[in-house]
Amino acid sequence: MTLSSIPLNERPSLVRSACTVLGVDGFIIPRGDEYLGEYVAPCAERLAWLTGFTGSAGLAAILPDRGAVFSDGRYTVQMEEQVPHALWERRHSALEPLAGWLTENARGLKIGYDPRLVSQSMLASWQVPGVELVALAHNPIDKAWTDRPAAPASRIIPQPLEFSGESSVDKRRRLGQALSVAGHDAAVIADCTSLAWLLNIRGHDVPLTPVAHGYVILHADGTAEWFVSSDRFSEGVTEVCGPGVTACPPADLVKRLEALKGRTVRVDPVTTAVWFDTTLADAGATVVDGVDPCTLPKAIKNAAEQEGARQAHTHDGVAMARFLHSLTVSGIGQHETDLVTRLDDLRARSEDYQEQSFDAISAVGPNGAFPHYRAQVGHDRVLEAGNVYLIDSGGQYPFGTTDITRTLWVGNQEPPANVREAFTRVLKGNIALSRIRFPPGTTGHRLDVLARAALWQVGMDYDHGTGHGIGSYLSVHEGPQNISPAPRPVALEAGMIVSNEPGYYEPGQYGIRIENLMLVRPSSFVGPKGAFLEFEILSFTPIDRRLIDVALLNDAELNWLNAYHAEVEKRVMPYVEPEVSVWLTSVCKPLVRQD
């Protein structure tokens, strides 16, 4: 990633000088932008510019005589490789959090932060006695980064009703009514995926997620003020937004927030920059913490969005079948990055394909042991026989977003017994979660153990969540629902889409993960206390039969797997070439026990 002509080792001193001018002793910079989204535009890659670290989660703190970069376990290896050791300490954000580091190194100092880049909840986690955190009007990195790229201004496009399934007018009306019932006069919408969903628009201001930057003030009467330049509108945007949406110049944001004096305004403490709290409070508004009103409705897909997800996965299943078949013909000898390009090209054979939904994880052998490994040209491994290969990827289509992981054995020799056992136990967890029925009100936390039980029986586990929500031609990582050991008080509801991705990682050897997306739907089963819910599988791609130890599967699991492969063949076969069809038939044939 080339962000600047300024040498990396000179950047910290430039930022320290800017901090001195601004009257602070140091600065905290999160990996995020003014909209607190997962992906950021090049102009907002401040953490990468300052430290060289390009992971999607992290932060840094710079003091007069030292600095540290923090990220979670997904990126510890990447930090070690990218961050100059002479300039920065590298810290695990969960095991060695910023607050503790500040306590040890910053007592008595004034440490600045940019209130437009930091949420209320984030700021609260940094508070420690003896360290004064100071909100700055100007960002010292922006002062030092003299060749910073321009902010994006992509064309904003309409999301048609056939894909959105509900007009913006109706969405705003029902959310406005909910605000009114809660006693709130308005809500700030700062999450760009919420804005896109609410107004039925999309854009390309950041990679991998089709959003347009901007903010919305949603009023309880269902009207909305959208802070964006109308020069960016493509044909049909005004019409798809419908009446009641006013496009306001971004420069008017402060003035319109100040106009809420005396009103009660909801602000999400997690997805909204703390600058909004301060500006509203200073204007005399009553600020109330509350969840973004779009978050839950956006997660519950309507009938059109559900059908769009099925359609997207049909396209994706065809691309994945072609890709997996191609590996049997010409995979060995290819670099990990070459295989990412190959899969992307195969997805692009669909005229509806837009882009990846995240940077694909293409990992050979020991690289697969890093759950969020990202191959880089010149530093990637070559696919060789006798290795495990993990490919985690997804696509963006105008009607849906996909995310799928498959783990394969490469070459003609038999895979080792320990690899087959680990793979089969991961598969058992995937099947257990796929088959479960559960009562309404069940949270993902209560289901997580199903995906781990077969691994736990032999002392195995994995250090990540089992499932996350997925947007509808929006973010591949969407809340509020998830499936994880960490409790989250959000029940799974019909219409939600979640991933099912248990795994196992043997450091220095291989990684295993099997991921399908699933739609929560009403079950035909009705218990004594009423109806239950279940999962509809959306992803249809073969699971590598060579890695399956059938002896470890019970009858119900084996029947599920064979039925799944029969469905894969039925859905994908009509769209692939004859040579792929022959391969698909062979990898989808029923597995049987050996007596």
Q: What is the pLDDT of residue 385?
A: 97
Give me the half-sphere count of Cα atoms (radius 13 Å) on the Cβ side of residue 236.
10
pLDDT band at residue 127, thresholds of 50, 70 and 90? very high
Helix (H, G, I), strand (E, B) or coil at 150: coil
Strand arrangement, sheet containing 404-410: 361-364, 387-393, 404-410
Residue 357 has pLDDT above 80, yes or no: yes
- Cβ count near 509 (within 10 Å): 16
DSSP state of 546: G
Q: What is the pLDDT of residue 318?
A: 98
Task: For residue range 92-102, list pLDDT tens digits in order.
Answer: 998 999 999 99
Mean pLDDT computed over 206-211: 97
Which of 62, 71, 58 lies closest to 30, judged by CA? 58
Which domains can be identified in the chain, with CATH numbers?
Answer: 10-144 (3.40.350.10), 157-293 (3.40.350.10), 300-588 (3.90.230.10)
Mean pLDDT computed over 410-432: 97
Cis peptide bond prior to 480, omega within 30° of 0:
yes
Which of 151, 100, 113, 146 lies closest to 19, judged by CA? 113
Q: What is the pLDDT of residue 179?
A: 98
- Cβ count near 63 (within 10 Å): 18
How far from 44 is each of 30, 47, 49, 444, 475, CA to CA, in Å?
10, 8, 9, 33, 18
Which of 186, 504, 208, 246 lies closest to 371, judged by CA? 504
Task: For residue range 25-44, list pLDDT tens digits in order.
Answer: 999 999 999 999 989 999 99
Q: Percentage of residues in the chain with pLDDT exceeding 70? A: 100
Mean pLDDT computed over 216-221: 98
Residue 595 has pLDDT above 80, yes or no: no
Q: What is the pLDDT of residue 78?
A: 83
Q: Tokens 């994945």, residue?
A: 320
Residue 185 has pLDDT above 80, yes or no: yes
Task: For residue range 52-77, list pLDDT tens digits in order.
Answer: 999 888 999 999 999 999 998 778 87
The answer to whether residues 249 and 255 touch, using CB atoms and an 8 Å cutoff, is: no
- Cβ count near 203 (within 10 Å): 24
CA distance 320 to 564: 16
The answer to whether residues 406 and 391 touch, using CB atoms and an 8 Å cutoff, is: yes
Which of 256, 254, 252, 278 lies closest to 267, judged by CA? 278
Q: Is 150 exposed, middle or buried (0-12, 13-18, 19+ CB in 10 A)?
A: exposed
pLDDT band at residue 112, thresholds of 50, 70 and 90? very high
Q: What is the pLDDT of residue 398?
A: 98
Q: What is the pLDDT of residue 1?
A: 60
Q: What is the pLDDT of residue 368?
A: 96
Task: For residue range 546-573, list pLDDT tens digits in order.
Answer: 999 999 999 999 999 999 999 999 999 9
The answer to whether residues 525 and 404 touch, using CB atoms and an 8 Å cutoff, is: no
CA distance 491 to 481: 7
| Residue/partner pairs of 518-524 with CB below 8 Å, 24 or more apart | 518/433, 518/434, 518/467, 519/301, 519/306, 519/309, 519/495, 520/492, 520/493, 520/494, 520/495, 520/496, 521/494, 521/495, 522/494, 523/437
Task: For residue range 135-175, list pLDDT tens digits in order.
Answer: 999 999 999 999 999 999 999 999 999 999 999 999 999 99
Helix (H, G, I), strand (E, B) or coil at 511: strand
Rg (CA), the chain: 25
H or E element in which residue 246 lies: strand 245-248
pLDDT band at residue 541, thresholds of 50, 70 and 90? very high
Residue 497 has pLDDT above 90, yes or no: yes
DSSP state of 74: G
H or E element in which residue 18 lies: helix 11-22
Q: Percentage of residues in the chain with pLDDT exceeding 90? A: 93
One-letter amino acid identity for 356? Q
Average pLDDT, the chain: 96
How far from 265 is each of 34, 239, 275, 288, 485, CA to CA, in Å?
19, 28, 14, 6, 33
Residue 258 has pLDDT above 70, yes or no: yes
CA–chain centroid gap for 267, Å, is 22
Tokens linked to 456? 């736990």
Task: State the virtual CA torsion across 337, 357, 370, 446 in degrees, nearest 10.
Answer: -160
Q: Where are the alpha helices (DSSP H) in 182-247?
A: 192-199, 237-241
- The maximal CA–CA distance of the chain, rounded, in angstroms, is 78
Tokens linked to 229? 């330049």
